[in-house]
Amino acid sequence: MSDHVRYGLYLPPFGPLGDPAALVDLAVRAEAAGWDGVFLWDHVVPAMPPIADTWTTLAAMAQATSRVLLGPMVTPPSRRRPWVLARQAATVARLSRGRLILGTGIGSDETGDFSRFGDPSSPGALSSRTDEALEIVRAMWAGKAVDHRGPHYQVSLDAADPEPYRIPVWTGSTTRHPRVLERAAASDGIFPDPGPQPPSPSPSALASLVAQVRPADRPYDVAVSGNASPAWEDPSGVNLAALAEAGMTWWMESLIHFDPLELSLTVVDAGPPRIGG
């Protein structure tokens, strides 16, 4: 199983990492150091200013790199117009020649991303909007004619050419609510997001989750975040081999906004913490 694990960087585009030029440089360095992906949080209100727009930054990263996978991890469709999200994702997919992964979640109001702008912020409302938005996004990517009249969105579009690159959709989850598990099982992967502070899930907890959502008839990614790089002053000692055995396909090394930029770049330049390495 460890041969199938890929390694990404997972970071907020704010605080010390809030300069978009620094983030593009980080992506270039990550590619050179052997990382497989670079993934950005997506917020409007930062926990620590300044903040960079995730989608604009991903487009710049796509132009500056050639191999690493890119994506928001996660973006809340409940906070975006689904037709705008569909076009943003399709544009980055084209710029990167198919290297985009769309990480999605219902969103969090921890810093006021919803309530500060008068948007609904209850989990039930966000969940309903997320499901409806993803239905529209997928239909637009497929080039289908859309005549949608839902509780949250109304869309009328003629059929068009489908997008040239398939865009995998992952589901971010902080709970095991049945609706979240159903959404995850219908997607291309799951990211059991622990929030800004690891620890990672235990191998047994991860195996239990994977058994609930992984389909038997198609590939499926399982991403886990935490700190395993030996470049940290105090590595957490995560058992990557056990997590891989439990079903992990992506390890996401978490860079946090209260860490100095220099420390984050040291972790990036050190390369992935390979299993058995």
Give 180-198 as a 3 state SS string: HHHHHHCCCEEEECCCCCC
Residue 26 lies in a domain: yes
Token pair recorded at residue 51: 């903040």
Does 277 fall in a domain? no
- In a domain, residue 276? The reply is no
Dig out the tokens for 40 from the structure. Answer: 């950005």
Residue among 27, 29, 49 nearest 38 (CA): 27
Range of the domain at 237: 2-270
- CA end-to-end span of the chain: 15
Tens of pLDDT, residues 63-82:
999 999 999 999 999 999 99
CA distance 187 to 169: 6
Structural domain contains residue 71: yes
**Phi, psi of 222, deg, nearest 5:** -130, 110
pLDDT band with cut points at 50, 70 and 90 for residue 197: low
Range 134-148 average pLDDT: 97
Alpha-carbon distance of 149 to 157, in angstroms, equals 12
- 129 located within any domain: yes
Tell me, what's the pLDDT at 31? 98
Query: How many residues appear in the chain?
Result: 277
Q: What is the CATH number of the domain that holds 65?
A: 3.20.20.30
> Which residues are paired to 155 by β-bridges?
148
Judge residue 44's burial from the number of C-beta atoms within 10 Å of its C-beta, 0-12 exposed, 13-18 middle, 19 or more buried.
middle
Task: Give how many domains the chain has, as a whole number.
Answer: 1
Beta partners for residue 169, in sequence order: 102
- pLDDT band at 183, cuts 50/70/90? very high
- Residue pair 116/183 in contact (Cβ under 8 Å)? The answer is no
Residues 6+ apart with CB under 8 A from 149: none
Instruction: Give the pLDDT confidence score for residue 4 in this predicted structure.
Output: 87
- Tell me the backbone φ, ψ of residue 55, rounded to 5 degrees: -70, -40
Residue 49 located in a structural domain:
yes
User: Which helix (H) or strand (E) element contains residue 157?
Assistant: strand 154-157
C-alpha–C-alpha distance, residues 31 and 180, integer Å: 32
Cut 0.75: pTM above it: yes
Helix segments in 65-98, DSSP class H: 82-95
Q: Average pLDDT for residues 195-222, to the nearest whole number?
A: 88
Q: H/E/C letters for each residue in 225-271?
A: EECCCCCCCCCCCCCHHHHHHCCCCEEEEECCCCCCHHHHHHHHHHC
Residue 154 lies in a domain: yes
- Compute the distance between CA of residue 156 and CA of residue 146 in angstroms, rounded to an integer: 5
pLDDT at 1 over 50: no
Q: With contact defined as beta carbons under 8 Å apart, do 226 and 196 qualify? A: no
Asked if the structure places residue 6 within a domain, the reply is yes
Res. 277 pLDDT band, cuts 50 70 90 = low
